[in-house]
Amino acid sequence: MERDRIRRLERIEEYYDLVPRAVATTEEVGPFTLFVPEDGTGWHFYARPRLHGTHAFTPRAVEAVLARQRELGLPESIEWVDDVTRSLLPAVRCAGFEPKRYPLLTLSADVPVTPDRRARPLPPADPHLGMAVGAVSAGFLGHDGVEHRDTGRRPELIERGALIVVASYDGTRLCGAGSAAPRGDVAELMGIAVPPGHRNRGHGTAITRSLVAACRQRDVDLVFLTAGSDTAAGIYRRVGFRDTATACVLEVDD
């Protein structure tokens, strides 16, 4: 069981290093890889421990990568998996910061998941794609005012098979959305959100199930996600996800 968990985390680390490179350039800053988004993506990235790196992390290394992000005008942000990079959390704390910690959950390939008929993947030119982006934004902000948002490079990524966006509906009304980024046989579910007025009606579960089903149609056998809270994690646990590790996120506010 522990060997299987370790192998899953190794695959997730490889995935974390790969997925931003579709729309970002990289810099090596000490023991970190810094992802710098290309113009027009609409996304913000972060620094992560260098893949297969062997250096121990120090407060000075943390301060250096944050300073480089500040110099580039990027958000000062570091993300990592505590179970994989044990020396980084003490270094971050010694540098004077306290990261947020979130449950990282994985779904075994042998857990049956069927799509929910209320939620469907959106094609690149779907007119609802901008509203899906708006619904996610509204859901995370905690309000019901859903507005059409710029889709950025999402249509291109959907066309290339690098992104799946699923929206959930009540009749014809869009009630929430989420996405997944398949890379080979691994995919992360991201940005699953439902505005407050549509919560507690199963839309989060519907989006999750349909995202998993769409990933599996592309031969993905390892699906994972980071839950924003233990309450949110409960939704995913009911689908069949299991706690595997702890994800850490440092975001330095101005």
Report pLDDT digits (tens) over 112-124.
Answer: 999 999 999 999 9
The confidence score (pLDDT) of residue 144 equals: 92
Of residues 32, 29, 39, the one with CA closest to residue 16: 32
Give pTM, 2 decimals.
0.92
* CATH fold of the domain at 119-220: Aminopeptidase (3.40.630)
Angle of helix 230-239 relative to helix 203-216, nearest 10 degrees, comes to 50
Residues in the chain predicted with pLDDT less than 50, given as ranges, are none
The confidence score (pLDDT) of residue 54 equals: 86
Domain boundaries, the chain: 2-103, 119-220
- Beta-carbon neighbour count of residue 42 at 10 Å? 14
